[in-house]
Structure 1
Amino acid sequence: MTRSGQEYLEALRDGREVWLDGERVQDVTTHPAFRASAASFAGLYDLADDPAHHPVLVQGGVRRAYAVPRSYEDLVARRRAFRTTAEASYGFLGRTPDYLAAGAAGFAAAPAVFTGDTFDGAEHALGFHRRLAEGDLHGAFTLTDPASGPGEDDLTLRITGERDGGIVVRGAKTIGTGAVFADEILVGTIEPLADDDLDHAVTFSLRLDTPGLKLISRTSYEGRSRSVFDHPLSSRYDENDAMLVCEDVFVPWERVLTYRDPATTGAIWWRTPAYLNFVHQSATRFWTKLEFLTGLAILVARSHGTDKLPPVTQALGRLLGMVAQAKAFVLGAEASYEEVDGGRGGVRPGQEISFAQRIMAGELYPRAVQDIKLLAGGSLIQLPASGRDLLHPELGPLVRQYFRTPGHPAEDRLKLLKLAWDALGSEFAGRHEQYERFYHGAPHVYLTMQTWAGSADACERLAQACLDGYGLGTTR
């Protein structure tokens, strides 16, 4: 069964230990640094109850993202659900509930991967998927180790012992995007581990109110926003990023997915469809976000009265071409789908195109932002400090007079430019540019992966065929 937004918010009031600016946050649903974003996540849950969206978002009584796709048509249906969710935040909420839901479905498609030489986590992986799906839970994850130098392995989350009924872990993981707003957090590693690195080779999932578990939040852009008019995106769609710290946290065995097994701990991301399912969701969201930014560019150009100038129409054409590229990667990955475990695990998006999407998105997003900034020009710099200026009895008439353009009253134009600045130039916008470039990993990692996931052999064969087709004595 799916939950309502109110049920989701009530579940967040569980006593979780969240820290911000030296303060322990008592309730993320009411704290000014988190409450509006929590409400935005709640709105995503309410979408499933909307008759217009329910058939798109729900399948068999659970969120469609939890379903294991069995055909190309299932992949298309899942993408439509991803699009519906992404459009609700214009692509600015990246780790929405459907993100880890898709990953959990990837685990469920190939549970045998969780069976290692010394620990069998197959049933636990299926239980993880079932628990999230049946509870309609919002899951987050953190897989990145904190920066550390030689001899500082104690910073990274590791196994410190066993107790009756489970294990004990200690240490940190970073970049827990959306963790503050999640019901559960999946903790593991996606980076290769040495064969003898048993203490760090663990994957598990915990409730956020687990004793000893802390989340240290980065700056809240929502908390710094002055109003929705002045910061329309950051005031409502700041999904936050947090460091997870575990201080001798107890993890029950049933929540442990891999244990002291480096090979299996890495394999669960690459030998199941989990990672490719992540890309399917994120690529769909990226396409949606690029559509939004391009629409913003069109509106800004019209407000300047420059949209008919040839250089501007060319710039808009380039942006629309970027949107088409983003769309093409999603559709191409679906069309090149591959069977999982001989079809027993359903299907997954095509690996080669999915991996290539990471390259395209990381390179395209900064270019799109730069192109739109050029279209906006200096108009993004000289903006009133607050929308309250429009309401002031003495200042308001001046603002309305000098910030208007033909056909665009000052209030409408300032509303548009405030939105553009929040999307392109604010601290919130800077975080999003960095996010789109690196949330799939560093370029040296995913570019290297493309060399073995791509069609290098076919490319080489075609070039070699040309070389083999002529020689010194060949005549035209």
Structure 2
Amino acid sequence: MIRSGRKYLDSLDDGREVWLDGERVKDVTSHPAFRNTASSIARLYDLAHDSEHSHLLTSDGVHRAYVVPRTHADLVARREAYKVWAESSFGFLGRTPDYMASGAAGFAAMPRLFTTDTFDGSDNVLAYHRRLAEEDLYCAFTISDPRSGTGEDDLVVRAVEERDGGIVVRGAKMIGTGAVFADEVVVGTIEPLAPDDVDHALCFSLPIDTPGLKFVSRVSYEAQARGVFDNPLSSRFDENDSLLVCEDVFVPWERVLTYRNVAATAAMWWETPAYLNFVHQASTRFWTKLEFLAGVAILLTRSNGTHELPAVTQSVGRLLGMVAQAKAFVLAAEASWEHVDGGCGGVMPGTEISFAQRIMAGELYPRAVQEIRQLAGSSVIQLPASAEDLLHPELGPVVGTYLRTPGTPAKDRIKLLKLAWDALGSEFAARHEQYERFYHGAPHVYLTMQNWAGGAQNCERLATACLDGYDLDGAPTRSPGALQ
């Protein structure tokens, strides 16, 4: 069943415990810190439910992200669905419902990995995937540990009691991006655990309104926004991040995916297609986001009348090259697809290219932002405080006179510059730059993992072939091109 946006919004009125600025939020759909973003997510559901894009976004009555891909064509179809939703937020909503949906499909592709000597979660993970797909649910995740610096590992989520019907968990997890807008949350760990650290080796999924679950929100950029004209991105696409706290939360056994098994708790992310599916969605969104930023840059140069200057055309060309790089990683990961579980679990994007995308994105985004800042110059600094200045009967004509450029009325120019500042220089923008730098984890993690992705042996083979091709006297030891 594909939900409408209205049904999605209605589902959020469930008594969930969300805290912001020392206040418990009664309803995220009406609170000024969350309501516009909730509406933006509702629009995603409407696009799938009933729009000209429904055929791209759905397959056999479920969102396409839930479908386990069996062919390269299926990966392409999934990416086309990702692209529709990414364009709806111009790439600024990172953890939309299709993100964890693709992860759930990755789990379902290899349920055998959830069967261990300590717990059999294979049926649970299939039921989890089926529930999310059939009810069209939005699932977030919290899979990182809070860093207290105290060495008190009892701050991290762990089971403190076993009962006949399930377990009781206590502790905290982060970073719950989008969690305050979700239906369920996966609580687990993607970080390495010591082989004997079975107390923290667990993963489960719960409804957001489960008694004992608290979500402590960071500052809301949406709440700080003056309005859509003045803050067109932060006022509508602040997906929020929150700390999850479990205060003796009861988790039924059927909601547990892994339990007291370090290997399975890691394998669910790295040995199933789940993580590569995440990268597929994220890389499509990243490509879309760079397209948007390049478009802003082009509009800025035209508004400033600098678009024909050689240095400016080169800068724009550099940005368009970045867009092409981001696109190329998506297409290459699809084209280098791999079988899952010997073909039993369908196919997944290529590991080597997917892992490399994480490096590219984290390094490219700050460069793109800096490039556009150079093009914008000081024009994004001296702006009217708000749209009220333009609407004021006395001040409006003054602003209209002095902030226009040839061919661009003041209102249109200010509108563009405020969009640029929200994307490049606001607190919302700073969060996004940091977010993209660490979207796939810390660099020391993904750079190390690239060594495991499969490309090193061929690189070494080629260099060794060159060395083996000549001797001390310079004479060739094999015919040119004979590398075997």
With normalisation by structure 1, the TM-score equals 0.99
Partner SS, residue 49 of structure 2: coil
Partner SS, residue 215 of structure 2: strand
Partner SS, residue 29 of structure 2: coil
Give the corresponding residue for 2:250: 250
Give the corresponding residue for 1:349: 349
Cα distance in 2 for partners of 1:291, 1:244 equals 33
Deviations 1:329-378 (A, max 9, x none): 00000000000011110000000000000000000000000000000000
* Consecutive aligned runs of 4 or more in structure 1 exceeding 6 Å deviation: none
Residue type of the alignment partner of 1:398: V
Cα distance in 2 for partners of 1:125, 1:185 equals 14
Cα distance in 2 for partners of 1:14, 1:454 equals 47
C-alpha displacement at 1:424, in angstroms? 0.5
Give the corresponding residue for 2:128: 128
Deviations 1:88-127 (A, max 9, x none): 0000000111000000000010101111121110110001
Give the corresponding residue for 1:334: 334
Give the corresponding residue for 1:218: 218
Cα distance in 2 for partners of 1:125, 1:32 equals 36
Cα distance in 1 for partners of 2:231, 2:142 equals 28
Deviations 1:23-42 (A, max 9, x none): 00000000000000000000
Matched, 1:325 2:320: no
Deviations 1:237-256 (A, max 9, x none): 00000000000000000000
C-alpha displacement at 1:51, in angstroms? 3.8
Cα distance in 1 for partners of 2:455, 2:123 equals 35
Give the corresponding residue for 1:278: 278
Residue type of the alignment partner of 1:11: S
Among all aligned residue pairs of Structure 1 and Structure 2, give the percentage whose two residues are the same amino acid: 73
Cα distance in 1 for partners of 2:287, 2:406 equals 32
Corresponding pairs, count: 476
Cα distance in 2 for partners of 1:210, 1:467 equals 63
Cα distance in 2 for partners of 1:242, 1:260 equals 26
Give the corresponding residue for 1:33: 33
C-alpha displacement at 1:475, in angstroms? 4.2
C-alpha displacement at 1:432, in angstroms? 0.4
Residue type of the alignment partner of 1:424: L
Structure 1: runs of 5+ lacking an equivalent: none
Residue type of the alignment partner of 1:423: A
C-alpha displacement at 1:191, in angstroms? 1.0
Residue type of the alignment partner of 1:345: G
Against the structure 1 CA distance between its residues 92 and 23, is the aligned structure 2 distance closer, same or farther, given a 3 Å change threshold? same
Aligned pairs for 1:285-434 within 5 A: 285-434=285-434
Deviations 1:229-279 (A, max 9, x none): 000000000000000000000000000000010110001001100000000
Matched, 1:75 2:85: no
Partner SS, residue 199 of structure 1: helix
C-alpha displacement at 1:148, in angstroms? 2.6
C-alpha displacement at 1:149, in angstroms? 2.8
C-alpha displacement at 1:150, in angstroms? 4.8
Cα distance in 1 for partners of 2:149, 2:396 equals 56
Matched, 1:452 2:464: no
Give the corresponding residue for 1:149: 149
Residue type of the alignment partner of 2:325: Q
C-alpha displacement at 1:159, in angstroms? 1.1
Partner SS, residue 214 of structure 1: strand
C-alpha displacement at 1:192, in angstroms? 1.3
Residue type of the alignment partner of 2:424: L
Against the structure 1 CA distance between its residues 470 and 62, is the aligned structure 2 distance closer, same or farther, given a 3 Å change threshold? same
Give the corresponding residue for 2:173: 173
Matched, 1:87 2:78: no
Partner SS, residue 453 of structure 1: coil
Cα distance in 2 for partners of 1:279, 1:57 equals 18
Partner SS, residue 204 of structure 1: strand
Residue type of the alignment partner of 1:273: P
C-alpha displacement at 1:164, in angstroms? 2.4
Cα distance in 2 for partners of 1:8, 1:256 equals 25
- Per mean C-alpha deviation after superposition, the further-off stretch among 463-472 and 316-325 is 463-472
Matched, 1:470 2:448: no
Partner SS, residue 175 of structure 1: coil
Matched, 1:186 2:186: yes
Partner SS, residue 452 of structure 1: coil
Matched, 1:203 2:203: yes
- Per mean C-alpha deviation after superposition, the further-off stretch among 364-373 and 385-394 is 385-394
Structure 2: runs of 5+ lacking an equivalent: 477-484
Give the corresponding residue for 2:482: none
Tell me the C-alpha RMSD between the 2 structures.
0.8
Give the corresponding residue for 1:96: 96
Against the structure 1 CA distance between its residues 475 and 344, is the aligned structure 2 distance closer, same or farther, given a 3 Å change threshold? closer
C-alpha displacement at 1:22, in angstroms? 0.3
C-alpha displacement at 1:454, in angstroms? 3.6
Cα distance in 1 for partners of 2:164, 2:210 equals 17
